[in-house]
Chains A and B, each alone.
Chain A
């Protein structure tokens, strides 16, 4: 019976873990709880993936992101709110604290409601910029949906984004065509933590719909500098995602039929797949790396190969291995480095003495082991085995193992007679010593008779 209970507990624990890698408590902030009906499919998807969703309005008295210093929620989803601010419970500072405490935030914007100032401040803090006056509408006169936006051109039809650049894994290209209705674009700063997921087409631009002018005077941004869906992954791997159009997550656009201008056939949008991909990434269901273990040992014949010794000698042959897994939706899978990217090991003291590629050696059901063998540098001191793998859309891997590297002990040097180059000098010593012995012998037997005479005379 006891066994059965513990087994059931284990099973439930496993089920409870079979969602996001960083917890299941999701807080949804919206203007009115009744509004959630408009996003029912998206929210049902999230619930189906195992999230416990709590709904709150920003004005709610009971809303608190922290309880006794611990996070009350693991993730936050912001749906558009009409109010100008977000109240005292959701100040930019509290939201930053939430990110610092490893919480993930998915923020949706909309051009029909002004973005709360609290959110704007938070975005500025993260180097993400919104159009002036918190008003902006992205339009594109060449890629709009002819069925729903033949006049306003504000429903963009976009192709899946593809990889950000060579060597970066593509998490977001499952969808077919993505509809981006009524959205607000952002521009991103130079920071390495920021990465755009979806960018506007070359002909897309953002303008202020409140201005009643025929021409756009001061353009906020256009083309690929206008990011429609952006991400920020903090150094603690907390994720912050901005989706420029809340409507693209709504039921209406999940199963809308769209027809791109100039094309004949009507197609269904791929918004549901894209919403799954972006929310899965934002809430750490994909792209989470885990270091299972790190091991290094002496790789020399005749030497005991104890794991992770504290000390090595210079010029030792050493093997370093690291086992990595990647979380994918509900389980860990072996991590494979994206093509044209390398996982690298640094052997460093202040600066790297070696920077080596780690090659996959052992692959199991849920992990890949990467290892590299090399000769330690001819330099003694305190060194680190360092794996510093920080890539867009992957959580950061920083593994640092410190070892001492000592110099040769006195009896570890080769004997001189074992080195043929030293033989002439050995012979030199030999000649000197034997010559000296011969000299001493002859000296002793050459005691001059004259000295005795001189002594006598003296």
Chain B
């Protein structure tokens, strides 16, 4: 029992020493490349972004891209309305609620359309075809518009 014990203990010590060695090596490596990485970090991020965009352009279907463009448009419109409310005050409040919630609601509906029509989520919605999803989306949007126009008076 005793030798075994000693062996394990020696083993652990050796392993620990080896890890410290590797750590120190990594440290030296990092310190040596610190200046290099600072300059190249931006480049790496650029590369990552570039590859991301390239991948998005290559792998995303046309309709999903369309949805994304529309959602970006809604974000811009919603931000403008909210900024106006902050800057100019919320009178008449029902108009603010109506305008802002129309944009936000439209965003939410569009997001659900995107979820339901993405190829990758097909297994989640076996019974919802893209056409069916779009029809739901149209009906939901029209109800939303009806309420918002009514509420803004």
Residues of A within 8 A of B (CB): 413, 415-416, 419, 421-422, 424-429, 431-433, 435-436, 439-440, 442-443, 446, 448, 450-451
Contact = CB atoms under 8 A, between A and B. Distances in A.
Given A439-B70, A448-B61, A428 B138 contact: no
B100 A425 contact: yes
Contact of A436 (B96, B134, B141, B149): B141
Contact of B106 (A432, A448, A450, A451): A432
A421 B91 contact: yes
Given A427-B99, A428-B102, 19 more contacts: A416-B98, A416-B153, A421-B89, A421-B95, A424-B81, A425-B98, A426-B152, A428-B78, A429-B145, A429-B152, A431-B103, A432-B77, A433-B145, A435-B70, A439-B66, A439-B70, A446-B62, A446-B63, A448-B62
B14 to A, nearest CB: 58
A440 B134 CA distance: 9
Given A425-B98, A425-B99, A428-B102, A415 B138 contact: no
A435 B107 CA distance: 11
Given A424-B84, A439-B66, A443-B134, A416 B95 contact: yes
Contacts of B63: 443, 446, 448
A36 to B, nearest CB: 80
Contacts of B89: 421
B73 interface: yes
A-B complex: 9 closest residue pairs judged by Cβ atoms = A425-B99, A422-B95, A428-B99, A425-B95, A428-B81, A439-B70, A424-B84, A416-B95, A429-B102
Contacts of A422: 92, 95-96, 152
A424 to B, nearest CB: 5
B119 to A, nearest CB: 9
Given A432-B102, A433-B145, A426 B66 contact: no
Interface residues of B, number: 36
A431 B75 CA distance: 12
Nearest to B89: A421
Given A425-B99, A428-B102, A432-B106, A419 B92 contact: yes
Contacts of B98: 416, 425, 429
A431 B77 contact: yes
A416 B103 contact: no
Nearest to B141: A436
A81 B134 CA distance: 107
B94 interface: yes
A421 B89 CA distance: 9
B5 to A, nearest CB: 64
B49 interface: no
A429 B99 contact: yes
B134 to A, nearest CB: 7
A315 to B, nearest CB: 16
Nearest to A424: B84
Contacts of A433: 102, 145
Given A426-B95, A432-B102, A432-B106, A413 B153 contact: yes
B77 A425 contact: no
A413 B93 CA distance: 13
Given A419-B95, A443-B134, A425 B106 contact: no
Contacts of A416: 92, 94-95, 98, 152-153
Contacts of A451: 130
Contacts of A419: 91-92, 95
Contacts of B103: 428, 431-432
A440 B138 contact: yes
Contacts of A431: 77, 103
A451 B149 CA distance: 36
Contacts of A435: 70, 73-74, 77, 106
Contacts of A432: 74, 77, 102-103, 106, 145
B52 interface: no
Nearest to B97: A425
B57 to A, nearest CB: 15
B23 interface: no
A431 B80 CA distance: 11
